[in-house]
Amino acid sequence: FMLAATYAETGWESLQEVRIDFVNPDPDSVEQFQWDTTRFSSIGGEFKLSDAWTVRAGYAFDETPTTVAHRTPRLPDEDRQWYSLGATWQLSDALGINFAYTHIKPDEPQIAITTPPAAGGQRLF
């Protein structure tokens, strides 16, 4: 039996906006992102049933860098849960067949912007 775990952080807070700087007289085009740091954590196990068969399973939780206040339909991202199953059928020392399935279940994304604020739109809160 083998047990494994992972924890990782990604510093998405460096992506606050995307700015296109036009030559005068056009104003800059700015899209706000305001992303946050995300965390990813997972745990999984593997069990060798016999010389020929090994089975494995795992679970992971993956945070989104987006927030409701700045999420747009262009990237309707949300936190995700991963459920994984797998097996290996070892036919010989030189040949093995792997089987795997992962189901990724995102939370329901909420979008609070009706039209871009730069176009005079309003937020729904």
Sign of CA dihedral 74, 15, 116, 68: positive
Q: Which domain holds residue 96?
A: 1-8+34-104
Consecutive H or E run containing 98:
strand 96-106
Domain assignment of residue 15, yes or no: no
Domain assignment of residue 22, yes or no: no
Domain assignment of residue 125, yes or no: no
Q: How many domains does the chain have?
A: 1
Residue 124 has pLDDT above 70, yes or no: no
At 125 the pLDDT is 45
At 104 the pLDDT is 97
Under the banding of pLDDT at 50, 70 and 90, the label for residue 64 is very high
The Cα 57–Cα 59 span in angstroms is 7
Under the banding of pLDDT at 50, 70 and 90, the label for residue 116 is low
Domain assignment of residue 75, yes or no: yes
Contact 41, 6 (CB under 8 A): yes
Structure confidence by residue, pLDDT tens digits, 73-104: 777 789 999 999 999 999 999 999 999 999 99
pTM of the entire structure?
0.75
User: Where is pLDDT greater, at 24 or 113?
Assistant: 24
Domain assignment of residue 28, yes or no: no
